[in-house]
Amino acid sequence: MASNKKLNTGGLESRSADLAATAEQASLTLSALPLSILLCVFSLLPVTWRARAACVCRGWRAALSEPSLWQRLDLNYEARDVTDAILFGAAAKARGRLLSLDVSWQRHVSFEALLAVVEGNAGTLRELRVGTGNSFYGCTLLDGPHVEQLLQAAPQLEACHARVLVNVADARRMLRNEPPFERLRLHTLTVRCEEETEETVMALVSDLASFHASLTTLKMWNLPDVPAVLDAVVDVALARCFESVGFQGIVPSLDTAPAVIGAVLGRLVAANTPALTELSVSLCCLDDESLTPLLQALPHNTHLRSLDMTYNTISAACARDVLLPAVRANTSLRKVFADDDCGTVEGVTEATALLATRRGDAAAAALVRRRRTALRRAYAQMDRWRMRRGEQGKET
């Protein structure tokens, strides 16, 4: 038995030695490559992996200290969240000769760190991308003063690609390409319309109609529910062929009937624009009367893939008779977002399970079905409890 253990131990030691020799040989083989080819290989690695590769041997460390390898930093393919320290370390290796920087999907990079890197490479930086991802969550949103500081800090910057969250005044300055926003390349524009008059919002819509650039996503927060304003925004969205349109927190008034809002939103869906794939009407205080025209337009749309109607009120009857048939008829739809209150409605739950199956997400579909079964049991138990209480009341 002891001899077998010794043999096994010896085999493991020899195998470890072979692996170490193979790794060393591979390192020497790569180090023997010309510097240009080695730099091309290392440029394919994420930034944090390059830092690890520099610890392998002296040859790799010398190659990875070449500033040209760090002049174009794309920090969107990291296995971990990029922090300010990682950004500073990567930018320092460029030695003041950074040409482009992309932090589109990084949430943990502070604006102060980003501004410091931009100022440190003001003479060479040509392109900056920040918050240009197509998902609302998980990206950096810049406001007007922040964008202005970045553009003023880098006079040599040719293009700043960004998604912004601004008020109406700053949005109009950006859309009219007023200095220094002429170098700004808008991809997502989110506008806050708090306490704005109808004339101001209509002026913003007019600027949107004449803005010729790569704007793909438009989100309007706290938009007044004046039919003329809503119609104008929908007309611009249809004319500009936006990929994503959002109406968050439409301010309700007593003068506008809920059905009017639903009819305007339904017109946007029924137009069946090929470009429009995402629509959000969250936080709009919509009810069955206003959601019905929107949902009835879904069967006429063959391109919409995502509908967000969180924080709206939908009854079980509307979910069963309107939402579920619309989801079944619309074969392009893949996601319907609803809040917890809507999720407890059986029709919404069944529609969510149907879309999960359509996406091929078996785990999500099974989770929704289990939730639906649990809800049915809870409702049955509640009915039995009510019947028991009623019988007790009759006896007394």
Where along the chain do its domains lie? Answer: 43-179, 193-386
Percent with pLDDT over 90 in the chain: 32
Amino acid 5: pLDDT: 42
Q: Please state whether beta strands 278-280 and 335-337 pair in parallel, antiparallel, or not at all (unpaired).
A: unpaired
**If DSSP codes are grouped into helix, strand and coil, which group holds residue 274?**
coil
Strands (E), the chain: 72-74, 100-103, 127-130, 159-167, 184-192, 217-221, 244-248, 278-280, 306-308, 335-337
C-beta of residue 339 within 8 angstroms of C-beta of residue 313: no
* Unique residue bearing structure tokens 């939103």: 265
* Unique residue bearing structure tokens 């692996």: 19
**109 Cβ contact partners less than 8 Å away, ≥ 6 residues apart:** 75, 82, 83, 84, 87, 103, 140
Amino acid 344: pLDDT: 52
Mean pLDDT of 195-222: 88
The confidence band for 325, taking pLDDT boundaries of 50, 70 and 90, is very high
Residue 80 clears pLDDT 60, i.e. is over it: yes
Residue 207 clears pLDDT 80, i.e. is over it: yes
Of residues 349 and 361, more confidence is placed in 349
- The residue count for the chain: 396
Percent with pLDDT over 70 in the chain: 79
Burial of 388: CB neighbours in 10 Å, binned 0-12, 13-18, 19+: exposed
Mean pLDDT of 268-280: 93
Amino acid 134: pLDDT: 41
Which of the four CATH numbers 3.40.50.2000, 3.30.43.10, 3.40.50.620, 3.80.10.10 does domain 193-386 have?
3.80.10.10
Mean pLDDT of 196-222: 88
Q: Which of 70-84, 207-221, 230-244 has the lowest mean pLDDT?
A: 70-84
Measured distance CA(347)–CA(325) in Å, rounded: 10
* Side-chain half-sphere exposure of 273, counting CA atoms within 13 A: 21
The confidence band for 133, taking pLDDT boundaries of 50, 70 and 90, is very low
C-beta of residue 139 within 8 angstroms of C-beta of residue 131: yes
Amino acid 23: pLDDT: 53
Termini Cα distance of the chain? 82
Amino acid 42: pLDDT: 87
Residue 254 clears pLDDT 60, i.e. is over it: no
Measured distance CA(28)–CA(229) in Å, rounded: 68
Residue 25 clears pLDDT 60, i.e. is over it: no
Measured distance CA(131)–CA(315) in Å, rounded: 37
Q: What is the CA radius of gyration of the chain?
A: 28
Residue 73 clears pLDDT 60, i.e. is over it: yes
Residue 278 clears pLDDT 60, i.e. is over it: yes
The reported pTM is 0.75
Residue 293 clears pLDDT 80, i.e. is over it: yes
Measured distance CA(243)–CA(337) in Å, rounded: 18
The confidence band for 6, taking pLDDT boundaries of 50, 70 and 90, is very low
**If DSSP codes are grouped into helix, strand and coil, which group holds residue 53?**
helix
Q: At what angle do helices 258-270 and 227-240 cross, to 10 degrees?
A: 10
Mean pLDDT of 96-118: 88
Of residues 392 and 250, more confidence is placed in 250
The confidence band for 52, taking pLDDT boundaries of 50, 70 and 90, is confident
